[in-house]
Chains A and B, each alone.
Chain A
Amino acid sequence: MRNGGSNRLTTSVRERHARLLAESRSAEPRARLAQASTRAEFLLRLSRTVSAIQNPQRALETLVSVLLEDMVDVAQVVVRTGQWQLVSGAVQGGSVHNTASRVVDGTPADLENALRRGLHDDVVLPKSGAPRRRALAAFLPDPELAAEVDALGCEQLAVLPLTARGRSFGVLVIGRAPGFGFGDAQNFLDDLAARVAVGLDATLVVAESRYVASVLRRSLAPTDLPQVPGLRLATYYRVAHQSQELGGDFLDVHGADDDLILLCGDVAGKGVEAAVHAKRIRNAVRTASHVDRSPGWILGLTNTVLVNEAEEFSEGMATGVCARLRPDGDRLRVDLANAGHPPALLLRADGTLEEVATEGVALALLDGVTYTEAQVTLGPLDSLLVYTDGVTEARGVDDLFGDRRLRDALRGFGGLPPSALIESVAVAVSDHLGERAHDDIAIFAVQFSPEPS
C-alpha cells in the first residue's frame, strides 16, 4: 500500500529503511543474520555520531537526521536538562525544528507521562479529524512538526524512553510512512534507545558542567570593553591549557568615564577555585572603589578582606595592579598601586618606555599591609600597559620570554593604538612559546587619545 506521503521518498531511502526495519520473523536465517549485522553496524555508527557532538542541541538535531536517513520517516527527540527542555524533530524531506524552552511551559500530558513512566509505548493514530490532531499534539509539541506528520499520513508512533543512570530524562518518538510499521523490531528499538540515551546523557552532563564554567569565566575578564571618550582600551586574555578554561588571571574596568578604575590580577592556582577567588577580589575592589577611589586604599582594604575571610579554598595569594584613570584636559592622570605584580609599563608616544615605580606585598598574605601609590601623567598617545607574569615567564626552547623581549616587542610602537601594542607582545610571546604549554596570559593596554579640539 502506497499513497502520496510515501511517494515522496526516494527508492534508496526506502531500501535503507527496509534493511533495518523489514519484518524478519519469517525470513530465512541468512537474511535474519544479515539484518542483525546491519542493525549492529547502524547502532555503532549512530552512537559514535551522536556521542562525538557534545553540544546538546546539535546532538539532537544530528540524531534526528541520521534516523531519517536510515530508518524512519518521522523522528523527534525530547530531553530535559536542568530547567530546560530541548526538542528536535523532523519528517522525511522536511527541515529540522528545534526548540529550547523552560520545562514548566506546558508539555503535552501524554509526552509528560511517557517521560515520567519511562516505558516503551506504541501509539496507533486515529485516521482523521480532530482525534488525529489531538493524538499528534499529545506527543509532538511543535505544531508545525505535528502538521507535517499529519500530512505524511503516518499511522503509528513508537514512543521510546531515554533512560540513563536509573532516570528517564527524555523520549524518542519515531514513525514511518503509511503502510509501514515497526513489526517485530521492538528489541532493536529498545537497544537503539538505550544507546542513544547513554550518549545524550554524557553530552548533557558535559553541557551542565560547561555552563557552570562559563558563568564563572564571565567573572574573569570583561567580554566587552567599555567605550570611554578619550581612551582606547585593548586586552589580550588567554587561559592555560588543561584548566577547564578557568584561569587565575583576571581583568576588570569600571567607574565613570572621567574616573575609571582598572584592575589586572593573578591568583595562585587555576580552575574553579581560582575563578571563585578572582571573583571575590574583583568584588572587593569594586565595593571598595565606591567608598574611596584611591588605588592604594582599595588594595589595602581588599587585602584586609582576603586575609580575614580566608577560607581553605581561597588561601592562595594573589597579585594585582589597580589604577585610577582621570582625564584632565590634554593630560591623563594615573594613580597606581601594585600588590606583588609585575610593574606596569608606560610607553610614551615618542617610544620611550618607563616602568611605573611602585611595589607592595601580594594580596592575602599579611594583615595590615599598606600600599603606596605612584602618580604618572600620560600625554596624548601615551599608553599604559599592565600584564601578568604569564607574559614574561612564557617558556621558550632555551629560556623564559623575559623583560628584554617584552621591551623589544614594544620597540618602535610608541604612539600606536593599544591593540597594536598588545598584538605585537602577543605575537612575540606566541613565537617564543612555540607549541609549548603556557600559563595564563593577560595584557591590558590603555592609550590616552583625546578627541582633537
Chain B
Amino acid sequence: MTTPTATVAGAELDAYWTAVAAGDERAACAAAAASRDRGVPLPEVLADLVVAAQRRVGDLWAANEWTVAREHAATAVGLAVVRRLGADVPTPVSGPVLTVACVEREWHALPAMVVALMLRARGCRVTQLGASTSRDHLVSAILDTGPRAVLLSASLTSSLPRVRRQVEAVRGTGTPVVLGGRAFGNDGRRAQRLGATAYAGSPEVVLEVVTALPLHVPSAGPLRHPGAFEARSIEAESDTISRDVLLATDAALGLGHADRDLATDDWRVVLATFVPHVIDCVAGALLTEDPTVYAETRGWLGGVLAVRGAAPQAVSVVEQALAQRLHDHPEAVRLIAGA
C-alpha cells in the first residue's frame, strides 16, 4: 500500500520561479525547503522546481527575453538550491561507488548535480567532478576511486564528439559508462553508437540502469564508418574550420569582423559563439550516423538568431561557408545538403 505523497504546490512553484527570475538564492532555497518540509519527496522537488525552472531559463534566453548574464544568475540560483538540498542528505558510507561528470566543455552542470544528488539520496557513494571535466581528470578520478560506473552528462549536441572521446577513455579503464542528458535525444540510439555501456533516459532511471551494468567492460573499438573518419578529421582542425567559416560569413553578410564592442547578446556575437558548435554538431551527426543531430541544431540556431534580429539568410550563409570549407569531406557535405 502506498500513501499519497505531497506534490509541489502552485504557490511554491510561483515563489520559486519569482526567486529564480530575481536571482534571489535565499528566496529560492526557502521555496524549495518549504516543499520539502511539507513532505514532498526530494526527486519531485528537484524535477518540478529546479529542473523545470532551469528549462524555462534556457528557453527565455533562446527567446531573447533574458540576457546571458541573467541566465547565468538564474542558473547559479538553481545550483545553490541543489547544494542546499544536498546538505540535508546524509553521505552514504557503503553502497556502490559512482562517478558523475559533465563532458569536457559542457557547462550545463545542473542536470549532473541533480542526478548525483538523487543517487546519493538512494544510497550511492557519488563523486561529482562537475562541469567541463577533462579526459585526464576523469581518468585520474577513476583510478583513484575505482567507481562501479561513470555517468556522463551532456546537454548540447555539439558535445557528442567529446562524449565519444570520453567514452573511449572510460572504457579503456574497464569501467562501464552510462550516458544521459538532452544531447542524446529521446532514445538511446546516439548513446549506443558512441559506445555507451548503457543509456539513462531520465534521472529517475539511472539507479536501475546502474544496477544492471556488467562489472567490467572491454575497451571501445574504433569507429570505422566513413562518417567517423571524417568526424575525426573535422574535429582535429575545428579551430581553423571555424575561423574560416566565420571570416567567410562576415564577408558574405558584410559584418566587419573587427567590430568587437558588441553586446554579448547581439546576434553577431551569438552567431560567432555558435559556429564552433555547428561544426561540432556536424562531427557529432557523422559519428552517430544521425542526421537529426545537425538538423536540430540548425533549426535551433535559426530561431535563436531570428529573434535577435539577424539577417534571415544568416544560417544558410554559415551553412554554405561550412559546406565549401568541408568540400573534401563528402559525408559532411551530404549531411549539410540534406538538412
Contacts and interface: CB of A to CB of B under 8 A. Distances in A.
A423 B79 CA distance: 12
B149 to A, nearest CB: 11
Interface residues of A, number: 40
Given A210-B144, A417-B80, A52 B219 contact: yes
A412 B265 CA distance: 10
B328 interface: no
A312 to B, nearest CB: 29
A419 B142 contact: no
B249 interface: no
Given A245-B136, A435-B238, A427 B173 contact: no
Contacts of B146: 53, 55-58
B175 A431 contact: no
B73 A417 contact: yes
Nearest to A54: B143
B76 A62 contact: no
B137 interface: yes
A413 interface: yes
Interface in A48-95: 49, 52-58, 61-62, 65-66
A192 to B, nearest CB: 18
Contacts of B173: 52-55
B239 A413 contact: no
Interface in B32-57: none
A61 B276 CA distance: 43
Interface in B72-131: 72-73, 75-77, 79-80, 105, 107, 131
B132 interface: yes
A214 B174 contact: no
B215 A62 contact: yes
B174 A417 contact: no
Interface string B217-241: 0110000000000000001001110
A430 B172 CA distance: 25
Given A58-B146, A420-B76, A430-B105, A53 B69 contact: no
Contacts of B136: 241-242, 245
A302 B263 CA distance: 43
A55 B239 contact: no
Nearest to B83: A419
Contacts of B75: 420, 423
A132 interface: no
Interface in A384-436: 397-398, 404, 408, 411-413, 416-417, 419-420, 423-424, 426-427, 430-431, 434-436
B69 A413 contact: yes
B216 interface: yes
A58 B174 contact: yes
A214 B330 CA distance: 47
Interface string B134-175: 101100101111100000000000000000000000001111
Contact of B216 (A65, A210, A241, A420): A65
A278 B98 CA distance: 31
A124 interface: no
A207 interface: yes
Interface of A: 49, 52-58, 61-62, 65-66, 206-207, 210, 214, 238, 241-242, 245, 397-398, 404, 408, 411-413, 416-417, 419-420, 423-424, 426-427, 430-431, 434-436
9 contacts: A52-B172, A55-B142, A65-B216, A210-B143, A245-B137, A412-B264, A413-B72, A417-B23, A419-B79
Given A397-B239, A417-B23, 5 more contacts: A54-B143, A55-B142, A56-B146, A58-B216, A435-B235
